[in-house]
A and B are shown apart, each in its own frame.
Chain A
Amino acid sequence: DAKTTQPNSMESNEEEPVHLPCNHSTISGTDYIHWYRQLPSQGPEYVIHGLTSNVNNRMASLAIAEDRKSSTLILHRATLRDAAVYYCILRDVGGNKLVFGAGTILRVKS
């Protein structure tokens, strides 16, 4: 599985947008970019995924670079409930499992 690189931690103010970066320079043409998050004492939760085009859903937006070597998860208005570990994961369309890295710890200040 191709590797991703994320900052260890980030901090945001409540009600402000948050941009969580992810580098994946070895991404292959059939790798989907997935984002999950894990709130304290809970199992991971799916956030969003994309292949080539930018994606929006009720939770977040995913901006994918034109060369696909990087992507950014955008939380439009951070709340205290968004404080979690955010994982950027590459998964081949024919692959069978997710490989979780260390992720980015997002802290949200009130």
Chain B
Amino acid sequence: EADIYQTPRYLVIGTGKKITLECSQTMGHDKMYWYQQDPGMELHLIHYSYGVNSTEKGDLSSESTVSRIRTEHFPLTLESARPSHTSQYLCASSEGLAADTQYFGPGTRLTVL
């Protein structure tokens, strides 16, 4: 069973607030990822990291930012939340081997009013 955690699981917040979604993994994986998924829709990669101090933007443009100061921690921040940010945010990590299986957290469902 994968050891990757996301908090909070659900968040309802007002427009303009700054929020940080937490993601932690205890597997020692170098690679970590953030995906965004609207209900019933496909997952889209918004950020990824190859290791400490490495961050890259994904395929879907996002106003969020990420940081990777520690291997196990990959938080996502929205400086000023808007209703358009309402979505599910999924964090994943992988060990970087040839097949590079990704392990996903349970997700954070964000609602911005």
Is B101 in contact with chain A by the CB < 8 A criterion? yes
Contact B42 A101 (CB under 8 A): yes
Contact of A96 with B107 in the complex, beta carbons under 8 Å:
no
Specify which of A32, A43, A96, A100 is in contact with B42 (CB 8 Å cutoff). A100
Judged by DSSP, the binding face of A is: loop
Q: Say which residue of B33, B90, B98, B103 sits within 8 Å of A97 (CB atoms).
A: B33
The 6 A-B pairs at the shortest CB distance, nearest first, are namely A43-B104, A100-B43, A43-B90, A46-B101, A44-B104, A43-B107
Chain A residues within 8 Å of chain B by Cβ, number: 20
Which residues of B sit under 8 angstroms from A96, Cβ to Cβ? 31, 48, 50
**Highest count of chain A CB atoms <10 Å: which of B58, B90, B98, B100:** B100
Would B106 and A42 count as touching, CB distance under 8 A?
A: yes
Q: Nearest chain-B residue to A1 (Cβ)?
A: B59
The answer to whether B99 touches A97, judged by C-beta atoms less than 8 angstroms apart, is no
Chain A residues closer than 8 Å to B21, beta-carbon distance = none
B92 interface residue (CB < 8 Å to A): yes
Interface, chain A (partner B; CB < 8 A): 32, 34, 36, 42-46, 49, 91, 93, 95-103
Is A32 in contact with B103, judged by CB distance below 8 angstroms? no
Q: Give the residue of A43, A44, A45, A91 whose beta carbon is less than 8 angstroms from that of B100.
A: A91
Q: Mark B5-45, 1 if CB is under 8 A from A, else 0.
A: 00000000000000000000000000101010000001111
Residues in B whose Cβ lies below 8 Å from that of A98: 45, 102
Give the Cβ gap from B105 to chain A, nearest Cβ, in Å. 6
For B103, the chain A residues whose CB sits under 8 A away are 46
* In contact, B106 and A34 (Cβ under 8 angstroms): no
Q: For the complex, what is the distance from the CA of A42 to the CA of B106, rounded to whole Å? A: 5
- Residue of B whose beta carbon sits closest to that of A46: B101
A46 to B100, CA, bound (A): 11
Cα A1 to Cα B72 in complex, Å, equals 28
Query: Quick one: given A96-B31, A96-B48, A102-B42, are A45 and B99 in contact (CB under 8 Å)?
Result: no
